[in-house]
Amino acid sequence: MLKKIPFLASPNCNQRPKGTDIDLIVLHAISLPDGKFQPDHIRDLFLNKLDCQVHPSFQDLEGVHVSAHFVVARNGDITQFVNTNQRAWHAGESTWLGRENCNDYAIGIEMVGDERKPFTQRQYQQTARLCKSLMRLYAQIQPERIVGHQDIAPSRKWDPGKQWDWDRFFTYLAASQGLKASIKV
């Protein structure tokens, strides 16, 4: 029996344009506040429940509505926030291979982390397993169509950043059998 990935429905999503093929995965890094790796604030941000008075840096997030399809915690736990067939709001203004609005055709995966600390082995393993499972669901997603946020919005984004070892990730991806869990499409 497949294990269920915990699902918390973010209101920050909508329908993809009719006839759009899902053919890209965008990897991100997130920490709230900066340099802190507890996923609770990230969860609250994606659910529009973040108390922006808790930390001075959160004031910039007042009224911000964002989401990703998945979050991978430091211990490898995965939480899903948006069905994969829906458009999550993770990429913002973006372009991949001349095609704009990556949210229309991409799946967004946030990894809890930042540009200063290495990601964990469990994050590499679980992100690779998740990507392998998504590649099975969406045949147009191939390894070369798994990119970083900095690749689709280079003038505004740095993530997942220099601490994300792409060679290590692709080694795990090649060896992965995917998740033994169900994904909400």
Which position has the token pair 């372009």? Answer: 95
Residue 3's pLDDT is 66
Global pTM value:
0.95
CA dihedral over 13, 59, 163, 101, signed as positive or negative: positive
pLDDT of residue 47: 98
Pick the closest to residue 145 from 13, 21, 29 (CA basis): 21
Q: pLDDT by residue (tens digit) across 152-170?
A: 999 999 899 999 999 999 9
What is the per-residue pLDDT for 38? 84
Exposure string (b/e) for 2-32, b if CB count within 10 Å is 16 or more?
Answer: eeebeeeebebbeebeeeeebbbbbbbbbbb
β-strand partners of 78: 72
Amino acid 96 reads W
Q: What is the mean pLDDT of each run of 10 residues along the chain (185 residues)?
A: 81 97 98 92 97 94 96 97 98 96 98 95 97 96 97 93 96 88 78
Where are the domains positioned within the chain? 3-182
- Residue 4's pLDDT is what? 84
CA distances from 59 to 32, 37, 48, 66, 116 (A): 12, 18, 14, 15, 23
Distance CA 92, CA 102 (A): 8
CB–CB of 22/140 below 8 Å?
yes
Q: Select 3-182's CATH number: 3.30.460.80, 3.30.2130.10, 3.40.80.10, 3.10.20.30.
A: 3.40.80.10
Question: Tell me, what's the pLDDT at 179?
Answer: 78
Catalytically annotated residues? 110
53-71 pLDDT tens trace: 999 999 999 999 999 999 9
